[in-house]
Structure 1
Amino acid sequence: MPTDRRTLLADAAIDVLAATGIRGLTHRAVDRAANLPPGTTSAYYRTRQALLTALVRRLVALDQAELQAIGERTSVPHSVEELTTAIAAFIELRLTGEGRRRSLARYACALESVHHPELREILVARENAGRQVVRDFLAAQGVMDADDRTVTLLTCVDGLVFDRLVAGGTVSDREIHGLVAAALRQPAPGEGTRAP
């Protein structure tokens, strides 16, 4: 548990947002979730926008730390099956426990960022060791545009997480395997080129 009051409040705000949605994110709700006296949150974050910005910054910091740790303890996979297993473990992390709570908050913030571009700037995808593992795998398999394919693959994984959070259920290895296979597929001659 964080000892810094601002971090404690941002963590409580993530909990509130995940549990109640964007409309439930109030200073009072965060005070209650943090088990602090009324008015504490507003003393640190005067406006709702300041609270939301702090929440998003904390969310990104937690996500980046998690992805960095995953990448640092994961060697570059040697096969589609190894990458599929690694992605499945990541998805499971995002759909259960604390990962689920943060995923729900992240998607709520992503939707809110449509109306608040300053949040979008904070939420933009960043480099981390986890992303690098995927990029290195694709490059090792001879994929010429490994950077673009990495972004596409991870965006699709994100879409699966979102779908399962909303609709329920799990993600099958078959689905993940299909995404990885698509990322590895080389274009046919002339495919992807535009006519003059």
Structure 2
Amino acid sequence: MSQATSGGDKTSRERARGSRREEICEAALDLAAAGGNHAVTHHAIDDRLGIARGSTSYYYRTRQALLTAAITHLTGLSRHAFLATFEEADTSLDVDRAADLSARQLDLLLGPRRRDALARYALTADAANDDGLRSALARCLFSVPGAEALMAHLDATDPSCAAHNFIILLEGLLFDRLHGSRSGLVIAPGSAASIADLRRPIRLWLTALQHGD
């Protein structure tokens, strides 16, 4: 067998392993969102993917390794979504535009990315006594560096402090619509009403930030 062929086979195997790991992480998030953290087991993922028992544990030997991989995968999905939205925003980004883009990001987590948000909340129980998982979960939906860049662009006096406070606001709005007092409202994600409902408090907060309140 030639070196070229051998190298090609190795690349194919590595690509297949990468694809399988991604499928496992996706299945873990699906199970967590639908059934809570206890639904995420190696065997349950094997069954969901229709693969031989023991296949998931071949890639992730422990449950902690599996959960860490799933959360890391979720972080990657969130980073991609953030960049897809804010990197295309022009340099004249103002409060109104920032509020609109932020509201649309939250609305995605209530609609097309609802699975991701539900999985994140479901896995918090596993992170209660695990500093590594807790830290990973804390940053898996919202980007602190991204928020800091946005706050700096809006001329916040302390971009780092403002970024953390902004994420607190977004976290609260998301939880309220998913599980809080406004979860019973009939507001369809993706609708103008949904985006307006989220945009309003975000715009008020950003306006207060610029006025130094």
Q: TM-score range by the shorter chain?
A: 0.7 to 0.9
1:105 to 106, 116, 119: 119
Identify the residue that residue 131 of structure 1 maps to in structure 2: 147
Question: Partners of 1:127 and 1:159 in 2: how far apart?
Answer: 16
Identify the residue that residue 4 of structure 2 maps to in structure 1: none
1:6 to 21, 24, 27: 21
Could you tell me whether the CA contact under 8 Å between 1:16 and 1:24 is conserved in 2? yes
Question: Partners of 2:89 and 2:136 in 1: how far apart?
Answer: 26
Question: Partners of 1:63 and 1:32 in 2: how far apart?
Answer: 27
Identify the residue that residue 145 of structure 1 maps to in structure 2: 158
One-letter code aligned to 1:96: G
Could you tell me whether the CA contact under 8 Å between 1:56 and 1:123 is conserved in 2? yes
Q: CA RMSD for the aligned pairs?
A: 2.3
Could you tell me whether the CA contact under 8 Å between 2:25 and 2:69 is conserved in 1? yes
Question: Partners of 2:90 and 2:167 in 1: how far apart?
Answer: 18
Q: Per-residue deviation at 1:80?
A: 2.4
One-letter code aligned to 1:131: A
One-letter code aligned to 1:13: A
What are structure 2's unaligned runs of at least 5 residues?
A: 1-14, 186-193
Query: Please, what TM-score do these two structures have when normalized by structure 2?
Result: 0.74
Q: Per-residue deviation at 1:111?
A: 4.3
Identify the residue that residue 155 of structure 1 maps to in structure 2: 168
The percent identity for this pair of structures is 31
Q: Per-residue deviation at 1:118?
A: 1.4
CA deviation vs aligned residue, 1:130-183 (integer Å, no higher than 9, x gap): 4355223321xxx31122112211221122112211132454432222222233
Query: Please, what TM-score do these two structures have when normalized by structure 1?
Result: 0.80
1:15 to 26, 30, 42: 30
Question: Partners of 1:127 and 1:174 in 2: how far apart?
Answer: 22
Question: Partners of 2:209 and 2:62 in 1: how far apart?
Answer: 43
Identify the residue that residue 33 of structure 1 maps to in structure 2: 48
Question: Partners of 2:148 and 2:84 in 1: how far apart?
Answer: 12
